[in-house]
Structures are given as C-alpha cells and as structure tokens.
Amino acid sequence: MNLASSLRALALVAAGLSAAACTTAGGPKPVAYAPEPAVDADAARMYGALEDGGWTIPAADLKKMAPRNVRQVVDFRTDEPVGTVVVDPRARFLYLVMPGGRAMRYGVGVGKAGLEFTGEGIIQRKAAWPHWTPTPDMIRREPEKYGGELRNGMDGGIQNPLGARALYLFKDGQDTLFRIHGTNQAWSIGKAVSSGCIRMLNQDVIDLNNRVPPKTRVVVLGAPATGATS
C-alpha cells in the first residue's frame, strides 16, 4: 500500500469513529434516580422490632408512613383535662392531653365513611393480644369475608386484626363496639380503612396503653379539631 492509499484508509477510519461518537452522544441518557428518603433515627428506635407477650412485633416500615404520623409531643389547645384521649378522625390523629398545653400525638387509621363513632365514652377494659370477633354489622356487610370460619373470631396474635393491644370504649355502661387497637399495617395509618375502630401501629398502641388507666375518658370529635398547632 502506497502513502496515498494509507492516508485515505486512515481518513476513513477517523470518519467512522467520528460518526460513532456522534451516535453515542445522541443516544439515551442515564436515568437519575432520587435517593430514598432517610429514616429518622429516633423514629427507627421507637418503631423497631419488639418482643411482647411471646410474640415478635416486626419493625414498622416507616417508608410507608408519612412523617406527620410518627408519635410526637405537640402543642395542643383544649379545654379537656389532662389525661383525656381526644380522637380527631378527620385529621387522623389521636391526642393524649398532657400538662402545659401539650399532647402526645399519634397517627391513626380510622373508620370508613358512615362507620365512625363520635361522642364520648370511657376505656372500660384494656387487653393484651385480645381475641377478635367480627361484629354482627361486619358479618351482615361482608358475609363472604366474615360469615364463614371467621364468624367465631380469632385468637390473639400477630395476624389478629386487633393487634398487640385493644382499648374497649363503653358509653353509659354499654359496649360501643368501638376499639382503639393495634395493627402491623403502617400503610393504613392516616387513612380511612377500618370497620369503625381506631387503629394504631402496635408500637404506638402499646405506648398509649401504658400511659392510660382504665376509666380514661375518650372524646371522639365529630368536627375538625383546631387545637393542634404543630
């Protein structure tokens, strides 16, 4: 190959490389993925795995729960006395009134529209890992789900719908069938998904259960609350 032929061959190679470079530059760009949100260390400790009553409560998946629903002390203006439990179904919060215009606030899941309880009552009974039985209304509404083997209920345990604790609300000496109870379903906190009860993460309902004695007064609001300021 003479010099002229060699120069032509080199020119063709260079042109091919140039074309290839242009093709690559015009191709798909790498996808930039946003980093997963960091989980607060204090929240991770509060909602970590827990041994209780022979059962292992799994750690809550905080990535499925809004930060506003994490247990926290907030400012809370109310005329209710210290120690009262105030449930705001519309804001999806439960408050335990504390001294100094403060309250311990818990995120909760609430009843579907038309199934909510409103008014006042007292915690007549507290139970750890309680037996669960569907109410007659539940069986009537969903006979295919509750009318079979579940009609007689389920013993306490991780899969039990009442979770690790249940606080039974009575009014005028009668069971309202309204419960404040636990759940492992972090995704349901802040939503209207239950059959009328107030559900809390198991870690939260254990915390609340430890703070309130029997006969504690419970107020379930029927209108938006304006007391919380944070």
Q: For this structure, is 181 an active site residue?
A: yes
What is each CA distance from 75 to 72, 98, 111, 191, 206, in whole angstroms?
10, 9, 26, 23, 22
Residue type, 138: M
Catalytic residue among 85, 197, 201, 220: 197
Whether the CB-CB separation of 165 and 126 falls below 8 Å is answered with yes
Nearest to 199 by CA among 187, 207, 189, 209: 189
Q: For this structure, is 197 an active site residue?
A: yes
Three-state secondary structure call for residue 66: coil
Show the tokens assigned to 113.
Answer: 């529209």
Nearest to 91 by CA among 209, 230, 214: 230
Catalytic residue among 165, 179, 181, 199: 181
Residue type, 111: G
Residue with tokens 């809550």: 60
What is each CA distance from 11 to 1, 2, 14, 154, in whole angstroms?
15, 14, 5, 81
Catalytic residues, which ones? 181, 197
